[in-house]
Amino acid sequence: MTDHDLVRDARARLTQAALGLARAPLCVAGLPLIPLQLYAYPLILVTVGVPLLLLFTALARHYTGFFRRWASGVLEVPINAPYRLPENRGPMTRVRTIATDPATWRDLAFLPVNAVVGVFCGILPVAFWINGLLGFVVPLIWIDSGRSVEYVLLRHDTPGNFVLAPLFGIGFLVLAWWATPRAARLHASIARWLLAPSAKATLTNRVRVLADSRADTVDAQAAELRRIERDLHDGAQARLVALGMSLGMAEELLARDPRAAQELLAEARQSSTQALAELRDLVRGIHPPVLADRGLDGALRALALAHPLPVEADIELTGRPEAPVESAAYFAVAETLTNVAKHSGATSAWIRVRYEDGKLSLMIGDDGRGGAEASENGGLRGIERRLAAFDGTLGVASPVGGPTIVTMELPCALSSVKTSSSSGTA
């Protein structure tokens, strides 16, 4: 380690110790939240406790959220909020959810523990650093003052004190160097232990997410079936009915008016052609043949070619995902590009597809006006539900004025070793 590295590390640890000391008063500042929140519970009986409890609980959760984020940064692991979400937004439902949520009471238990641990972990490293520096400063004070100043730590006049003081100083500096990062990690570990979701809460939340995803998938499937039924009824079925009537009329006219029968047969042939085209479009909407034949890479490039805007495709895949995941990814990209053409006002778009760390990552961007968001009944919300069925996620970055970038991730495995790589502009 060079002198420059040593100085840089020393500066970093001194800064860490100073921040720990500055954090100590903040740790103590959370203590008043305990009686405030507890006193609000009996006041619920006279109604005034409802807004007070909601207010003090929100303050406590913001307070613990700060330490949750801080501990996540120190430990370099994500620490999710463990709170239950109420089924609706009514105040009494929220109060009931708060009162029965174990995370609420763990937050209250965290406040006194955090005060003690935060003060201890904040003061101890600083005390080591100060004592270490005093080991070198005290002998200088004695020399400058003719040894008339006697410090509290060393009150002897023997010459050996001039040797012992620096040795003690070195020992305290070594302790400070060792203890500074460990004190912060100790504080962060205790915060994580109390503020992170428990195994039971994590499992419960996972079950809830899966239940919601299953319900969304069932609703999406039901809506898709209704769409297919409607398209069949209004399109191909109506044309086939008209085709049957035309053939029946042609059969009746064949003997007495062959010319009229010939016109009806020509009309019937046209109706059959249109019905066949509509059936093909309907089947293509259920599972595009290009997706089955050429995989996600070829299907997305074909989608980009058919788009009314120029779309740049940058796709690198080392195989094919499972068929359901492939289909979900295709239709998610297709709907996103449709939204780009309809609502963004963009002049161009791009697609980027990668497979990394067991996840299929897709990014779709445009240079439009921005302002897109996943509203409850919007297209992005439908894409989010489609991806959630496969544990996928959707992220939207769309500031007003643009550009818009939609990011999708789907955990999956690739089924072949075939390498597919392409980059181009449609």
Q: Where does a domain end: 141, 173, 195?
A: 195
168, 195, 222 - which closes a domain: 195
Could you tell me the pTM of the whole model? 0.53
Domain endpoint, select from 154, 175, 195: 195
Q: Is the same domain home to 147 and 219? A: no
Backbone φ and ψ for 409, nearest 5 degrees, come out as -135, 135
Q: Are residues 306 and 242 in the same domain?
A: no
Question: Which residues, including other chains, have CB under 8 Å from residue 72's CB and lie 6 or more apart?
Answer: 78, 79, 192
Same domain (yes/no): 184, 238: no
Q: Do 213 and 333 belong together in one domain?
A: no
User: Are 151 and 212 within one domain?
Assistant: no
Alpha-carbon gap, residue 13 to 185, rounded angstroms: 13
Is the domain of 316 the same as that of 411? yes
| One domain, residues 225 and 328 | no
Distance in angstroms (rounded) separating the CA atoms of residues 35 and 68:
22
What is the CATH number for 237?
Answer: 1.20.5
Question: Structurally, how many domains does the chain consist of?
Answer: 3
Domain of residue 267: give its range: 201-286
Give CA angle at 420 (414, 422), nearest 5°: 135
Residues 191 and 206 in one domain: no
How far apart (Å, rounded) are the C-alpha atoms in residues 11 and 20?
Answer: 14
Beta bridge partners of 261: none
Per-residue pLDDT of the chain (426 residues; tens, 9 = 90+): 566 777 788 788 888 888 889 999 999 999 999 998 888 888 887 778 788 888 888 899 999 999 999 999 888 888 888 887 765 566 777 888 888 888 888 899 999 999 999 999 999 998 888 888 877 776 665 555 444 444 444 444 445 555 566 777 788 888 888 988 899 999 999 999 988 887 776 677 667 666 666 666 566 666 666 666 666 666 666 667 777 777 777 777 777 777 777 777 777 777 777 777 766 666 655 566 777 778 888 888 888 888 888 888 888 888 888 878 888 888 888 888 888 888 878 888 899 999 888 888 999 988 888 887 766 666 677 788 778 777 788 888 888 887 888 898 888 888 764 444 444 555
Contact (CB, 8 A) for 30 and 73? no
Based on the domain organization, do 297 and 262 belong to the same domain? no
Question: 324 — alpha (psi -120 to 50), left (phi > 0) or beta?
Answer: alpha
Is 207 in the same domain as 327? no
